[in-house]
Amino acid sequence: MAGRTLKSSIALLLFFFVFIFFISSVSSWKKDEFRNCNQTPFCKRARSRKANSCSLIAVDVSIFDGDLAAKLVPRDPVHDDRRGGPEDNQSDQTLDPEKHQDEQPEQRDDTALEEVSAKPLILTLSSYQGGLLRLKIDEDPSLDPPKKRFEVPDVIESDFSSTKLWLQRLSEELIDGDSVPSSVVYLSDGYEAVLRHDPFEVFVREKKGGKRVISVNSHGLFDFEQLRVKKDGEKWEESFRGHTDSRPYGPQSISFDVSFYGADFVYGIPEHATGLALKPTRGPGIDFSEPYRLFNLDVFEYISESPFGLYGSIPFMISHGKEHGTSGFFWLNAAEMQIDVLGHGWDAGESKISLPSNQKRIDTLWMSEAGVLDAFFFMGPGPKDVIKQYAKVTGLPAMPQLFATAYHQCRWNYRDEEDVEQVDLKFDEHDIPYDVLWLDIEHTDGKKYFTWDRVLFPHPEEMQKKLASKGRHMVTIVDPHIKRDDSYFVHNEATNKGYYVKDATGKDYDGWCWPGSSSYLDMLSPEVRAWWAEKFSYENYAGSTPSLYIWNDMNEPSVFNGPEVTMPRDALHVGGVEHRELHNVYGLYFHMGTAGGLLKRGEGKDRPFVLSRAFFPGSQRYGAVWTGDNTAEWEHLRVSVPMVLTMGLTGISFAGADVGGFFGNPEPELLVRWYQLGAYYPFFRGHAHHDTKRREPWLFGERNTELMRDAIRTRYMLLPYFYTLFREANLTGVPVMRPLWMEFPGDEAAFSNDEAFMVGNNLLVQGIYTERAKHASVYLPGGESWYDLRSGTAYMGGTTHKLEVSEESIPAFQRAGTIIPRKDRYRRSSSQMTNDPYTLETPAVFDCFTKTVNWWKGQSSVRDFPIGISRLHYELEFEICNFKLNYEFQHSVLYCCIEVSFPVFMGYAVNVIALNSSRSAEGELYVDDGKSFEFLHGAYIHRRFVFSNGKLTSFNMAPTADAGTLFSSDCVIERIILLGHSPGPKSALIEPGNKKTDVELGPLRFHRSRGPSILTIRKPNVRIETTARISGIMPLHKIVDSVKCHILINFSEIDLQKTTPELPCVLSMTAFQPNKSVLSYGNSLYTSSRFPAPNPPVEILLFGMKCGQRTERNVGANFLLLAFCDVELKYAQVVVLKT
C-alpha cells in the first residue's frame, strides 16, 4: 500500500511539473514551439525547387473503366532532376544551431532515388455530374511498394460514386506548339479536361473559347517521393525540440503547383487567423515568408494575420474574379500540408512552359508530407455553384436542432450545481433568453469523462431536468484523452480491447493531458467508433438525460508533452497507418464517433448536437465548430469574421467564435460589441477561461446589461430566419454566413471586404472593431436599397456610407426586395417560442442609380457631379453631393432644377408602394419540429412569400407527403411590416375568407417604445401552413406611362464659406397633405462645413415648372407623384446667382 501511495505521489508530482511547464509555455503563443517551413524537411525541399523542375511525361494514355488512365514516367530517368538542388542535402543545417542542436541533416542515397524515380506513377482522371473532375496519382501497386499509401476513408459522400460520368473516348490536340499531342476529354456543362503529355500537365478549360479554369503542374513543380526500402547507413530520422520522428518509410511527400485563371483573389484553406482573401506568401516584395500551414494543433492565444495553422484543416481553395467567376480545388489528404500563394512575378525567368498570356491567374504551391494525390476540380462558375459542387463530394451540413441555433452560455467552469442554478435564475431575472448552459472539465470525477464530481454535482439528472423544464439544455465536455486509471471503466475496456493508438514500438501510446497520463482512442477504426458510441447511453453515462449534449475539445489531438503539443507522427493506428498520414482527420473521426453515440442514444430519432474544435472536410455532417482559444482583443473580434466566413466557404456552416474572447478580460465596450456581432454568427456562444473574471451579461452595469440583452434578443427575434438558412445549408451546402461577393459576385468592391458579411441573402452586417467608434464606413453592394434594421432608414446600394454609430447596435441592413420571417415575443428559450406568431418584414425595392449631370456657377462654367437615390423611407431623397464653389460670395441664392421622367401612379393620397421593375419582394420560412429526423420524411412546412402588385402571397414549397408524416403548426402571421412604403389604405383583404385586417403605422421592433413608426398590416392571423393571399396593400386606380417633371429647389440665404466648401443639394420627397409643399430640405452627412438650415423654408414646386421659376403650387390629396427605381434622369442643373 505504501509503495502504491509513493508511486501515486511521484506520478502526481510528475504531472504537476509537466502541467506547470505546459501552462507556462503555451499560455501565450510562441512560434519557436512549432515548426516553420525551414524546419520541416518536406516543405523546405518543395520550396527549393525551381519552376520546370518536373521531368515527368504522360505515357500509355487510354480510356479504362470510364476514366482517362495514364502512367507518369521520367523523360530521362538517369538524369531526373525532380529532387531539386543541393539545398536538399543541407536539410536543417541552415537552422539556428542554438535552438535546434538535435536536428540532423537528412541523408539520401542518390542510387536509390534513381531506382525509385524510374517507377511509373499511375494517373486517373474521372468526370462527375455537375462539372466535377477528379485527379488521382499514386504509386503503382503492381510494383510492390513497401506499404500502401493512406487514402482517407469516410470523407467522400457514399453516393458520390453514383454521379460518375463514364468517359467514352478521348481526342488528341497539339497544345501551344507541343511536339507531342495532348489528350482531351469532354467533361460536362461545357468543360473539357486536358492531359498534356510532355511536359506533364492537367488543366480544365471551357470548351467554347478554350479559356483555362484550373491547372495542375503548369509550372513544372510536381514532385512525388515514392516509398522505398531503407538502405544500410541511411538516416531518415527527424528531430525537433527533443522529439525524434523515426520516419520508418522515409521521405514520402507530394508537391505540385495549382493555377486559378481569371482570379482576382483566392480564399479558403482554413484554419488561420487571417483575412478572408489569402495574401501572397512568396514572391517579389512579399513580407510573409511562411506558407499557410494545415496541421491541426492546440494553440493557446493564437495571433492574428499569421499563416500558422490552428485547430482544423480543410485543403479546399476557392478562387473568384471578375473575368471567370468562381472555381475551386480540393485535395483530399490528411497529412500535414503547407500551401504557398505565389505573388506576381514569383517565377520570373524560371518557367519554360508557355502559358496563355491573355488570362490573368493566381498561382499556388501545395505541399504535403504523405498520402496520395486525390484532388477535385470545381468549375463553378458561380460562388454557390462551387459550394454545392464541394458539398456533393464531402457532404451537406447536418440540420441542427432549433435550440442549438440560439444562444449558449459557457465558462470554464461553472463551479457546482448551485452556481448553475444561480446563473440560470439570473438570466430569467434580467429577462435575457438563453438555451444552453455548458460544463467544462471540472464537472467530472478527476477528469474522467462520462463521470460527475459527486461532491460538486451530486444530482446531475435533477439539475438537467430543472433546465429542461424551461426548455433549456446542458452540454458537457468529452475529450479524446482517456485517463490511465485502473479504476476507470473506459480505460480498462479500451486497454483490454486494444483500442488505443500505439506508439512506434507497438505499445499503447501514453501522453499527457488534463487528466495526467492519458491514452488516445484509435478512432480511425470503425470498431472503436462503434464501441465509443455505446458510452453515451444513459446506462454508461450515468447522470445524463435526453437534454444533455456533447462538446469535443482537444481533439487535434492535444498532447501536452508531445511534439508541437500533439501526437508523434510515427504513432500507429489500425492497419499500420502512421499518425503522420491521418493527423488532420483524427478530430473528424472523434466528432463522428461522438455524434454517432448521441444518435444511438436517441434511437435514431433525435438530432445530435456535438461541438468540435478540430475539423476536416466532412465535419459539417456531424455538428458545429468554433474558432478555438481566442483572446479578448479588438483584433480578435475583427478576425473572427473572416475566420467564420472561411469555414462557411469550405463547408462548415455551423461555426462561430467565443463571444468576449476565451482569454483575457474584455472591457465592457468590447464585450458589448462582441455580443452585437456574435448575435449574427451561425453558432452563438459566450465562453471564458477559468482565470478570467466572471462575465455574465448582468455583471457590467445596467446599461451594458441592456445592450447585451438587446443583442441576444435580436438573435432570438431572427431565429425563424436563421433556422430557414440552416435548412438551406442542409439542402445545398450554401453557408448561413456569407462573404459579400457570394451574393454580389460581380461587385469588385466586395471581393476583399471581410469586415462586413451577409446572413443569408437578406441581411448585411458590419461589425464595429475599434473602441469608442463614432462613425463606420459601410459598403452596401448592388444597385438596390438597404434598410437599417433598427430605424428602417433606406440607403443607396453600390456605395460606401459613412454612418454615425452608437453604443446601441452595430450597422445591420435588410436588402430591398426580401422578406424576413421573425418572432417578436421574447421568451426564456427558443422552445418556449414554438407557438408564437410570426412577423414578416418586407421592404420596398429601389434599384438605386447614379447618373452624371451638369452644373455650373454663374452663367458660364460647366462641370459634372453625381446624383442618385440615396435614401427611401417615408421619403425619396435625391442627393446632389460634393460639388465645389470656388469663388467667394455671401447671401447667395442656390437653385437646383432637375428634369426627370418616371411612371406615375394615380390613386388616393399616399397609397402607393414603390417597387423596382420586377415589382416584387420574396422570402422563405422553414419550420419543423426542431429536433427529430421526421423532416427527412416530409414532416415540415416550407413557405415562399412573394409580394407583388400590392399582394402578398404564400406558396407551398414542401413536397407532398403521406398524411401520417405531415407536420402541422397552429402558428400564424401576426404582423407584416412594409419597410419603405408610405401610409395608404386602412385595411387589407385576406384570401381565402375575404377577411379584412387593419393597415396602420406600428413599431419596427415590437417591444421598443422609441423608434420609427412603420406601415404595418396588423393581425392578418394567417396560419403559416396555409396558402393565402393578402391584397389591397397598394390599390392602383390608373397608371400614367410617363410624365416629365421639373423640380425646382430654392435654398435661400445660405451663408457659404469663403473657403472651398463641399455643398450637397438634397431633395426629399415626403408624405404630404393638401396645401403643403411636397419637397423639403434635408441635411447631408457628407458636408465638410456646417451650413444653417434654410430660413425661410425651402420653396419647391413640382409639375411643369420651368427652371428658375419660383412658384408654389398646391397638390390635392387625391394625387401623388412618386419617383422610383426606373427613373430616367434627363438633366439636372445647379445655378448659382448673386443676390
Among the options 103, 271, 556, 974, which is catalytic? 556
Which of 411, 899, 947 has the alpha carbon at shortest distance from 689?
411
Catalytic (active site) residue 154: no
Strand duo 265-268 + 292-294: pairing: unpaired
Which of 525, 535, 546, 462 has the alpha carbon at shortest distance from 492?
535
Catalytic (active site) residue 234: no
Q: Are 977 and 844 in contact (CB under 8 A)?
A: no
Helices (H) and strands (E) in the chain, counts: 16, 60
Beta bridge partners of 871: 877
Residue whose grid cell is 516553420 = 36
Q: Are 1121 and 1105 in contact (CB under 8 A)?
A: no
Please write down the HEC assignment for all residues of 588-600: HHHHHHHHHHHHH
Cell representation of residue 873: 423611407
Cell representation of residue 12: 502526481
Cell representation of residue 1089: 462645413
Percentages of the chain per state (helix, strand, coil), in multiples of 5: 20, 30, 50
For the chain, the first-to-last Cα distance in angstroms comes to 108
Q: Are 575 and 257 in contact (CB under 8 A)?
A: no
Which of 37, 21, 115 has the alpha carbon at shortest distance from 74?
115
Beta-carbon contacts of residue 922 (< 8 Å; ≥ 6 apart): 817, 818, 819, 944, 945, 946, 947
Cell representation of residue 421: 442554478
Distance separating alpha carbons of residues 631 and 949, to the nearest angstrom: 51
Which burial class, exposed, middle or buried, applies to 173 when counting CB atoms under 10 A from its CB (0-12, 13-18, 19+)? Answer: middle
Q: Are 432 and 709 in contact (CB under 8 A)?
A: yes
DSSP for residue 951: E
Cell representation of residue 755: 469586415
Q: DSSP secondary structure string, 936-950?
A: GGT--EEEEEEEETT
Residue whose grid cell is 455538428 = 623
Among the options 106, 363, 553, 570, which is catalytic? 553
Catalytic (active site) residue 629: yes
Distance separating alpha carbons of residues 510 and 504, to the nearest angstrom: 11
Which burial class, exposed, middle or buried, applies to 860 when counting CB atoms under 10 A from its CB (0-12, 13-18, 19+)? Answer: exposed
Distance separating alpha carbons of residues 69 and 479, to the nearest angstrom: 44
Distance separating alpha carbons of residues 1065 and 1049, to the nearest angstrom: 9
Q: Are 638 and 767 in contact (CB under 8 A)?
A: yes
Distance of CA 489 to the CA centre of its chain: 40
Q: Are 1116 and 1040 in contact (CB under 8 A)?
A: no
Cis amide bond preceding 413, omega within 30: yes
Residue 337, classed as helix, strand or coil, is strand
φ and ψ of 671, to 5 deg: -65, -40
Which of 332, 338, 331, 329 has the alpha carbon at shortest distance from 368?
338
Among the options 564, 570, 629, 841, which is catalytic? 629
Single-letter amino acid, residue 445: D
Q: Are 1122 and 846 in contact (CB under 8 A)?
A: no
Residue 60, classed as helix, strand or coil, is strand
Q: Are 103 and 39 in contact (CB under 8 A)?
A: yes
DSSP for residue 872: E
Cell representation of residue 1123: 419617383
Give whole-number Cα distances, 1019 to 945, 948, 999, 1009, in Å: 17, 20, 9, 20
Please identify every residue annotated as catalytic.
Answer: 553, 556, 629
